[in-house]
Amino acid sequence: MSDIEFKNYKSATTTTATADDYSSENNYQQSQEYETSVSGGKWENFKDSFKRADREEEDPNLTALERAAIRTAKAPLKRKLKSRHLQMIAIGGAIGTGLFVGSGTALRKGGPLGMLIAYFISSSFILCMNFALGELAVEFPVSGGFTTYVTRFIDESFGFAVNLNYCMLWTIGLPLEIVAASITVDYWDTPTKYRDAFVALFWLVIVLINLFGVKGYGEGEFFFSIIKVACILGFIICGIALVCGARGEYIGGKYWGSKYGGVFHGDSAGAQFKGVMSVFISAAFAFSGAEMVGLAAAETANPRKTLPKACKQVFWRIALFYIVSLTMIGLLVSQNDSRLIGASSSGATSPMVIALKSHGIKGLPSVVNVVICIAALSVGNTCVYGASRAMCAFAEQGYSPKWMKLDYVDRNGRPLVGITIVSTFGLISFIAASDKEVEVFNWLYALCGLSALFTWGGICFAHIRFRAALAAQGRSTDELTYKAPTGVIGSCYGFIVIFFVFVVQFWIAIWPTGYKEMTANEIATNFFETYLSFPIVALFYISHKIYTRNWKFLIPLSEIDIVTGRRETDLVQLKADIALEKAQLKAKPLYYRLWDFFC
């Protein structure tokens, strides 16, 4: 028997725990019993499904941190995400308007090679972050996922700041995506007076999907991701053909030449460096959602088997869908193309659409534009899911007033109050019909421009602290079900790179390219549009420190709770299961083993 301290351990007369049992099983069992025990008509069952799910009573003698750990571990969410859902969320979940449209801004600011360098560096630390997140999520499949880990392994105030920032990121993201989707229809010369109708349609579809619960989100993302992946693969194949001369002209590296602006953007080395660094904001926005697999762990049927595979998919999404497609964009579109101006807000200026139109491809630009609308719907769907779950975890950790009831989870596992708040905030998207649309869009974008970096940095640091706490408490990594392939070194690398990006972005925000010709007002506006999220998060952190009078910078390693919420399992049985799986895999053909290793 393992030496791990199990809470609520089952007696010897019950079924032996397997490697797939979890500490929050009792709560899930209660919610599952509801589905099979209700009686009456469908209407009565439908009404009852909105009632609050039962929760276990809390021990009043526990500390706030202990209560937060237990509440997040026993949240009455539903485990309805299947392996295929998680795989497609991992592959296509973060592919949205950031890639389809925002890459135009990246190309214009950094040049074709500068864009690739920034995205490649971003990809490297995102990969390390995902492996670290996979390790934590398999061990602690709790409500809020990584938002909970930051509180438990680092510091309550830092957790408060990162949690609130993450809620803000996805809440603001919803109207951003709906506005982007409504503007995209302008490609077909749609009259502006119909803009409200499209906003209402997109908003309604997103809200209805999430009212079907986590299964609705999973099925929606499965469908959306298939379409996005198919579109990108099609664009890559078409792009390779065009670059190689399928239309009668060999393009090759033509647009990388000095005639079209060169490989970087800017006349001087300093301007080119700033251009490359400014692309990190576009990359951060494009990769937002890369951590969603970890958030979904608490609602996944079998995290031990599905999460590691989902983390592997991140590599292929980065290598194939981002790096290769961005390479094609850089080879087919000039950084000086006037149609890239305003690329952050119009589907008509998507570099993929520009590439196809510029080289005489008919029909496909409209298809890509339809996919851009679907991508916006997909990210909007993720916004409601991510924000509502983050709000629920925010309340369960004791950060929000009780009267807000953000931890309200109904019997179908839906955090209804969170979904309602995010959906209501999404109505801001009706600003699309206003003449202030671009101004509002830019400031909303500024609020969440760097927000994802705080989340990713928090995940890397939480993983570092978790491993340190294991060592400090005399525990071994041998008890971990899944170990991050990049280890602590990968998390250190990710954290250092993210810190470097924050420092460089501060420099760019204060001294942007051409700042000598700018007025004080223009420089101030540029600073807040570039760096607004940093002072906001700092304000959250300092305010919580002052309010709680908790002046500890970090939770002592010896006091970190590395037990609550861990999978309730017999470690001996777990090791036996893993050994059996390895033996079965070893007996498979070589091609199958290679596929399993990489995918």
Q: What is the pLDDT of residues 210-222, one digit of tens each?
A: 988 888 888 888 8
Give the chain's length.
599
Average the pLDDT over 433-445 and give the result.
70
Higher pLDDT, 407 or 154: 154
Q: Is the pLDDT of residue 408 over 70?
A: yes
Q: Is the pLDDT of residue 38 over 60?
A: no
C-alpha–C-alpha distance, residues 148 and 153, integer Å: 9
Average the pLDDT over 380-388 and give the result.
89
Q: How is residue 446 written in tokens?
A: 């500024």
Q: Is the pLDDT of residue 2 over 70?
A: no
Higher pLDDT, 492 or 89: 492
> Would you state the pLDDT for residue 443?
74
Average the pLDDT over 515-541 and give the result.
86
Query: Could you give the 3-state DSSP secondary structure of residue 51?
Result: coil
> Would you state the pLDDT for residue 26?
43
Sorted by where each begins, the domain ranges of the chain are 1-21+568-599, 25-36+96-567
Q: What is the tens place of the pLDDT at every residue in 290-346? A: 888 777 766 777 777 777 777 777 777 777 788 999 999 999 999 988 888 554 445
Average the pLDDT over 442-471 and give the result.
87
Average the pLDDT over 515-520 and give the result.
82
Q: How is residue 145 written in tokens?
A: 């996922």
SS3 content of the chain, % helix, strand, coil (to 5): 70, 0, 30
> Would you state the pLDDT for residue 422?
94
Query: Could you give the 3-state DSSP secondary structure of residue 300?
Result: strand
Q: What is the tens place of the pLDDT at every residue in 155-204? A: 999 999 999 999 988 898 888 888 777 777 877 877 767 777 888 898 99
Answer for the pair 365, 332: CB distance below 8 angstroms, yes or no.
Answer: no
pLDDT bracket for residue 517 (50, 70, 90): confident
> Would you state the pLDDT for residue 17?
36
Higher pLDDT, 238 or 282: 238
C-alpha–C-alpha distance, residues 215 and 209, integer Å: 9
Q: Is the pLDDT of residue 544 over 90?
A: yes
Lowest mean pLDDT among 31-35, 396-400, 580-584: 31-35
Lowest mean pLDDT among 7-11, 107-111, 395-399: 7-11
The model's pTM is: 0.84
Task: Identify residue 196 by its one-letter amino acid code.
Answer: D
Q: Would you tell me the crossing angle of helices 303-316 and 83-92 to the nearest 10 degrees?
A: 20
Average the pLDDT over 430-445 and give the result.
70
pLDDT bracket for residue 565 (50, 70, 90): confident
> Under CATH, to which class is 25-36+96-567 assigned?
mainly alpha
> Would you state the pLDDT for residue 499?
93
C-alpha–C-alpha distance, residues 85 and 303, integer Å: 12
Q: Is the dihedral of CA 281, 286, 289, 293 positive or negative?
A: negative
| Percent of all residues in the chain with a pLDDT value above 70, rounded to a whole number | 85
Lowest mean pLDDT among 24-33, 64-73, 118-127, 418-427: 24-33
Nearest to 498 by CA among 539, 547, 534: 534
pLDDT mean across residues, the chain: 81
Q: Is the pLDDT of residue 19 over 70?
A: no
> Would you state the pLDDT for residue 431?
75
Q: How is residue 265 written in tokens?
A: 């953007």
Average the pLDDT over 428-451 and give the result.
73
| Percent of all residues in the chain with a pLDDT value above 90, rounded to a whole number | 23
Higher pLDDT, 13 or 572: 572
Task: Identify residue 68 by its one-letter amino acid code.
Answer: A
Q: Is the pLDDT of residue 436 over 80?
A: no
Q: Is the pLDDT of residue 7 over 50?
A: no
How buried is 521 (Cβ within 10 angstroms: 0-12 exposed, 13-18 middle, 19+ buried)? exposed
pLDDT bracket for residue 270 (50, 70, 90): confident
Q: What is the tens place of the pLDDT at every residue in 553-563? A: 899 999 998 88
> Would you state the pLDDT for residue 542?
95
Answer for the pair 552, 155: CB distance below 8 angstroms, yes or no.
Answer: yes
